[in-house]
Structure 1
Amino acid sequence: MTSSVSVFGNLTIDDLVFPDGSTRWAVPGGSVIYAALGAALWTGRVSIVAPLGADYPIELLDQRIDLSRCRRVPRTLRNWGLYEEDGRRHFVSRSATRDWNAFSPKLADALSGVQSAAHIAPLPHDIAIGLARELRKAGTLFISLDLDDHDLLGRAHLEEIVELIRAVDLFLPSRQDILAIFPGVTPLEALHKLRALAPDVALIAIKCGAEGAIAHVAGAGERIHIPAIPVEPVDTTGAGDAFCGGVLAGFARGDDPITALLYGTVSASFCIESYSFSSLSAATGQEAASRLAALLQRVELHPMGG
């Protein structure tokens, strides 16, 4: 199987509790779905590489999502998702699906197909770094990485995290991830720290929720701020993953880094307009182009030292 973009990670079914006390049960999702749809908005068909449970409602997915590389398993990873007023989220796996490794891709899955670009969604550290190495050996040109703040908190040594970051081309953490790596720092301070630790990573972009994203291209004298698109948020689940998919799509298409960041921001904007991934799945190329054109006028460049 050959695809321009593939996404490696988890499929989940989540029970969500929101800050106002409202709840939603059995919401199909998983980081790979949102990242794949975020990329597919710009590239067309995207492959997902993740264990696929027999109980996952694949009928809700559109034809842009290729599941042919998914290993079938009896059940889907099931989580409790708890949301706080400040935007932080806490996901806890149910006891029957607590072995995260069992619901993650295997290293051999990196060789189950061919792709020019691959996204590694939040996964256990050893699996993530193993996949990055296998994908690189297989000739994947662009590898992007997102992290899991719970896994980060279990990392005793910064060197382990830095080793993983240096193994990819695009490092796309959330503000919550950054606080797990560098407690108490601001996103801008973290951007400087990350660039010093990983000078050769082509793009480092920190997702800051409603404040947009800040980013730096390797070797550039300026940092980039991409503001969030003003839409009415319904559910922010998966927005960061959709951003990652959009950014990787830009690199897969051969676009410049700012355009790739714009793709990611547009993908995230569709994601938050509904529960689960329905708005992102329904987004059209025409709608995406309209938001892209408006957002382009709002890009900010600032001296990296400032």
Structure 2
Amino acid sequence: MADQTRQFVSLGMFIIDEFEFIDPKQKTRRSEEPQIGGGGTYATIGARIWLPPDEVGMIVDRGHDWPETIQNQLQAYGQDMWLYRDDKSRETTRARNTYREDARGFQYLNPRVRITPRDLSGTKLEDPKTLHFICSPSRARIILNEVANRPGWTPVTIYEPIPDRCIPEELPALLEILPQISILSPNAEEALSLLAMPLDVTRGVVEEAALQLLSFGVGAEGRGVVIIRSGHLGAYVANVERGGQWVEAYWTPSDSDRVVDVTGAGNAFLGGLGAGLHFTKGDPFEATLYGTISASFVIEQEGLPHLEHNTSRTETGELWNGSKPQKRLESLRKRIRNRVET
């Protein structure tokens, strides 16, 4: 058994990302340095922004080619949050992200090591209160069956469907597992594609998609939540009990200079959401604000946000990209409150 129950654990894989930029008028350019990647990694950092290292976690599978630079970067966020597994007979999972004008491609370069709840048994990550996973509906069924077969463990489940399985043909498989999902969270394009709706992302269309997904019966007795992440439009949160509500993005279109790279923002949002559920006693609407702030830190640079410890005489605590998450949270709450009052 784990010494301490974790608030948030992701089953997402750790990936070393490589990047390729293709300009039809110029030569192909590849980034020289590999970068930390994987939706699970970004989700875990999104939770780490709010929680100490011993309350979050994920498995990191290291191969014989494991870079020391990446090890040092991970350790900077807190040694206790990572559960390392070494296999010198294989390479670390790698993927190539290809950018061609407005299109983005993603391809695994070697075999993946998939993770299920069984891998957490007997480790410090065992039986977390919130479990996050990114996969197809068929793999989600495997994960949820393992959860159900573990007596006494009833985590909040946050399911993030992978983009290439957000197609109408996958909807029947999704419907089978929805009663076991606490929070279903595709992004706007994924939700519309899954429901065979036109890919014209407006707030009205997103609201329609969320209500349609809710009507299928999310969560036990239909009490689950749908959160559709919609970029600069914000996030739409809906459940049967309270209906739907928009939570605006922290950085608005007028703050375009602050948005450098949106890679991993949605994953980090869900990690922040998972942490927020702890602080808000399970309120998904209020917890969405925490997810929004986590995403705001991820999009400010390429790669993961920078963590440093404030050691001034008058103030202590962690700074992310030089800012305190709590101050951003208070600012977002004030902005929302002012709009409601006006």
Equivalent residue runs for 1:124-203 within 5 Å:
124-138=136-150, 139-153=153-167, 156-185=169-198, 186-199=205-218, 200-203=222-225
Whether the 8 Å contact between 2:117 and 2:147 is mirrored in structure 1 is no
**Structure-2 residue corresponding to 1:292:** 329
Deviates most, 211-220 or 247-256: 247-256
Structure 2: distance between partners of 1:64 and 1:229: 29
TM-score, normalised on structure 2? 0.75
Residue 124 of structure 1 and its aligned partner are, at CA, apart by: 4.2
**Structure-1 residue corresponding to 2:201:** none
Higher relative CO (CA 8 A, sep ≥ 6), structure 1 or 2?
A: 1
Distance 1:47 1:166, change over 3 A: same
Gaps of 5+ in 1: 301-306
Whether the 8 Å contact between 1:110 and 1:134 is mirrored in structure 2 is no
Residue 203 of structure 1 and its aligned partner are, at CA, apart by: 1.7
Pairwise CA RMSD = 2.8
Q: Percent of aligned positions with the same letter in both sequences?
A: 25
Residue 280 of structure 1 and its aligned partner are, at CA, apart by: 6.7
Whether the 8 Å contact between 1:50 and 1:104 is mirrored in structure 2 is no
**Structure-2 residue corresponding to 1:303:** none
Distance 1:136 1:297, change over 3 A: farther
1:14 to 10, 13, 17: 17
Say whether residues 1:233 and 2:265 are aligned partners. no
**Structure-2 residue corresponding to 1:265:** 292
Structure 1: distance between partners of 2:80 and 2:225: 26
Cα deviation per residue 1:112-170 (whole Å; 9 max; x = unaligned)? 412111111x22443322222323443133111111111334x7342201223332101
The DSSP-based 3-state class of the residue aligned with 1:146 is: strand
Deviates most, 11-20 or 123-132: 11-20
Aligned residue pair count: 290
The one-letter code sitting in structure 1 at the alignment partner of 2:297 is F
**Structure-1 residue corresponding to 2:240:** 218
Whether the 8 Å contact between 1:107 and 1:130 is mirrored in structure 2 is no
Whether the 8 Å contact between 2:11 and 2:117 is mirrored in structure 1 is no
Structure 2: distance between partners of 1:291 and 1:84: 34
Cα deviation per residue 1:242-279 (whole Å; 9 max; x = unaligned)? 00001111223325222210000000000011111133
Whether the 8 Å contact between 2:276 and 2:286 is mirrored in structure 1 is yes
Distance 1:184 1:23, change over 3 A: farther
Distance 1:226 1:19, change over 3 A: farther
Structure 2: distance between partners of 1:192 and 1:235: 30
